[in-house]
């Protein structure tokens, strides 16, 4: 046979709760119980409030660079809602919603962006890794973490989050390939928000979908409406079930949009249309979830303002806690370098404010050394 077919496939996209509030019962029924849907919406409100205040802290000089999460709440939240607490969440920096749902104290995220490593000192029972600053590098850790659990015969899995831009990095490829070939139960969750700073997705991936990146590894893959928490929940639940049953990884591309600038150091008006932003403002995840709840009499204006007031109070408290923490001491920079500090580091630590570093007292002539 001169020409034969050696591979055939297709990729599906799931959307359940549309931005106009229409809901597909066939896929969506029973997916999220009513009280959970309310809880998720309330959580989104809290996160939105946090995001707004964090932004203002930066603008008023009380915090360093901050990446707004606004518009992307449904992705990590949907995943965290589905997953077990023993499953690892290996995130980038736009997953506040999922991390807070898991139980990360909100002040940790503020501390991180306030330039304080204590923001990354996380209760190990939460199974959370610190925010990843170097793009694309954390997926490999997610693979290693799930592998460690598999090695011990545990049923836990890992779920790692990253952007569209991150899929251009070599480490992304290596992580996907390791997971597929070594059968590691990791969910690769790509938040395709259309941009990597100023670079549009098509310059990171000229293929019609990012979901098809997974075909390179023969990996299960799907695209979902990432502003639709029902679609996210369904995709993650399917992927997690599959992972626990077969120990195989999956890929999820969630299409979403960052409504704000890349970070507070960015000005997105330089490179994108206000029309585009406007369009996505209509499609963001909270409006549609609110419509869904209101259609079912689970939510109304008074609950909305009550929750808003609560969110304001909670976040104000969080800011207070983050700002009131005592300053780190200068020598903190030495203390977690190694499990036990080597001698020459001890010397640097001991003398850091008393000498120039170069001239550690130990380098001065010993009594029995005569000056030439």
Partner 1 sequence: MANLTLVQAINLALIQEMEQDDRVLVLGEDVGINGGVFRVTEGLHKRFGGHRVVDSPLAESGIIGTAVGLAMGGLRPVAEIQFEGFLGPAYDQICTHAARMRTRTRGGLTVPLTVRVPVGGGIHAPELHSDSPEAIYTHTPGLKVVMPSSPYDAKGLLVSAIRDPDPVIFFEPKRIYRAFREEVPEDEYTVPIGEARIVREGSEMTMVSWGASVIHCMNAIEASGRDIELIDLRTICPLDIDTVVTSVRKTARAVIVHEAPLTCGIGSELSARIMEHCFLDLESPVQRVAGFDVIMPYYKLELDYLPDADRIGKAIEETAAY
Catalytic amino acids? 258, 262, 271
Of 144, 134, 133, nearest to 174 by C-alpha is 144
Which of 193, 227, 264, 283 is close enough to bind ligand TPP by CB under 6 A?
A: 193
Which of 59, 151, 316, 320 is close enough to bind partner 1 by CB under 8 A?
A: 151
* Residue 157: partners with Cβ closer than 8 Å, 6 or more residues away: 83, 87, 88, 146, 149, 185, 186, 187, 240, 243, 244
Which of 70, 150, 234, 262 is close enough to bind ligand TPP by CB under 6 A?
A: 262
Q: How many CB atoms lie within 10 A of CB 249?
A: 32
Phi, psi of 224 (to 5 degrees): -130, 160
Contact flag: residue 246 with its own copies (CB under 8 A): no
Grouping H, G, I as helix, E, B as strand and the rest as coil, residue 23 is strand
What are the CA-CA distances from residue 233 to residues 16, 147, 297 (Å)? 10, 24, 22
Which CB, 63 or 231, lies closer to its own copies? 231
Q: Residue 322 has which token pair?
A: 């983050």
Contact flag: residue 4 with its own copies (CB under 8 A): yes
Q: Kindly state the helix (H) or strand (E) to which residue 222 belongs, with its residue range.
A: strand 220-225
Per CB under 6 A, contacts with ligand TPP among 343-372 are: none
Of 48, 64, 35, nearest to 106 by C-alpha is 48
From the list 55-63, 159-167, 306-314, 359-367, the region that binds ligand TPP by CB under 6 A is 159-167
Contact flag: residue 94 with ligand TPP (CB under 6 A): yes
Contact flag: residue 196 with Mg ion (CB under 5 A): yes
* Residue 270: partners with Cβ closer than 8 Å, 6 or more residues away: 198
- Taking the complex as a whole, the smallest distance from the CB of residue 211 to its own copies amounts, in Å, to 7
Which of 58, 96, 204, 264 is close enough to bind its own copies by CB under 8 A?
A: 204
Q: Residue 222 has which token pair?
A: 């799907």
For residues 96 and 109, the answer to whether their CB atoms sit within 8 Å is: yes
- Taking the complex as a whole, the smallest distance from the CB of residue 132 to ligand TPP amounts, in Å, to 9
Which of 52, 169, 276, 312 is close enough to bind its own copies by CB under 8 A?
A: 169
Displacement of CA 255 from its chain's centroid (Å): 15
- Taking the complex as a whole, the smallest distance from the CB of residue 137 to partner 1 amounts, in Å, to 6
Contact flag: residue 136 with partner 1 (CB under 8 A): yes
Give the single-character DSSP code of 17: B
From the list 162-170, 246-254, 305-313, 357-365, the region that binds Mg ion by CB under 5 A is 162-170
Which of 91, 138, 193, 264 is close enough to bind Mg ion by CB under 5 A?
A: 193
What are the CA-CA distances from residue 53 to residues 69, 161, 332 (Å)? 12, 24, 28
- Taking the complex as a whole, the smallest distance from the CB of residue 192 to its own copies amounts, in Å, to 12
Which of 40, 47, 54, 196 is close enough to bind ligand TPP by CB under 6 A?
A: 196
Alpha helix (H) residue ranges in 325-369: 332-335, 343-351
Which CB, 162 or 292, lies closer to Mg ion? 162
330 contact, one of Mg ion, partner 1, ligand TPP, none, CB 5-8 Å limit per kind: partner 1
Contact flag: residue 173 with its own copies (CB under 8 A): yes
For residues 318 and 119, the answer to whether their CB atoms sit within 8 Å is: no
Cβ-based burial of 169 (10 A; exposed 0-12, middle 13-18, buried ≥19) = middle
Which CB, 133 or 309, lies closer to partner 1? 133
Which of 217, 280, 292, 299 is close enough to bind its own copies by CB under 8 A?
A: 217
Which of 16, 37, 83, 90 is close enough to bind its own copies by CB under 8 A?
A: 16
Per CB under 8 A, contacts with partner 1 among 326-355 are: 327-328, 330, 332-334, 336-339, 342-345, 348-349, 352, 355
Query: Residue 276, by phi and psi: left (phi above 0), alpha (psi -120 to 50) or beta?
Result: alpha
Binding residues (CB under 6 A) for ligand TPP: these are 94, 133-135, 162-166, 193, 195-197, 258, 262
Binding site for Mg ion (CB under 5 A): 163-164, 193, 196
């Amino acid at each position: 046979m001169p020409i034969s077919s050696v591979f055939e496939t297709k990729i599906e996209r799931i959307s359940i709760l549309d931005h106009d509030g229409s809901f597909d019962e066939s896929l969506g029924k029973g997916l999220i119980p009513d009280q959970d849907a309310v809880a998720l919406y309330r959580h989104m409100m809290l996160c939105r409030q946090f995001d707004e205040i964090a932004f203002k802290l930066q603008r008023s000089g009380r915090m360093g660079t901050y990446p707004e999460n606004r518009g992307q709440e449904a992705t990590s939240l949907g995943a965290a809602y589905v997953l077990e607490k023993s499953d690892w969440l290996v995130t980038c920096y736009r997953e506040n919603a999922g991390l807070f749902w898991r139980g990360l104290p909100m002040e940790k995220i503020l501390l991180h962006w306030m330039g304080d490593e204590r923001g990354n000192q996380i209760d190990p029972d939460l199974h959370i890794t610190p925010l990843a600053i170097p793009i694309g590098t954390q997926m490999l850790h997610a693979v290693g973490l799930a592998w460690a659990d598999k090695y011990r015969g545990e049923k836990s899995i890992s779920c790692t989050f990253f952007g569209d831009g991150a899929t251009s990095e070599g480490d992304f490829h290596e992580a996907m390939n390791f997971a597929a070939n070594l059968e590691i139960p990791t969910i690769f969750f790509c938040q395709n928000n259309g941009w990597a700073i100023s670079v549009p997705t098509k310059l990171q991936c000229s293929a019609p979908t990012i979901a098809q990146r997974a075909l390179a590894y023969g990996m299960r893959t799907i695209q979902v409406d990432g502003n639709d928490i029902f679609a996210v929940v369904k995709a993650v639940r399917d992927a997690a079930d599959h992972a626990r049953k077969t120990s195989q990884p999956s890929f999820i591309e969630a299409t979403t949009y960052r409504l704000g600038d890349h970070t507070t150091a960015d000005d997105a008006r330089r490179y994108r249309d206000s029309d585009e932003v406007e369009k996505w403002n209509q499609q963001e995840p909270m409006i549609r979830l609110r419509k869904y709840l209101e259609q079912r009499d689970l939510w109304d204006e008074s609950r909305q303002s009550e929750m808003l007031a609560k969110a304001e109070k909670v976040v104000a408290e969080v800011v207070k806690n983050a700002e009131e923490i005592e300053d780190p001491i200068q020598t903190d920079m030495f203390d977690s370098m190694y499990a036990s500090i080597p001698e020459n580091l001890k010397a640097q630590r001991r003398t850091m404010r008393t000498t120039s570093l170069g001239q550690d007292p130990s380098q001065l002539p010993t009594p029995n050394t005569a000056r030439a």
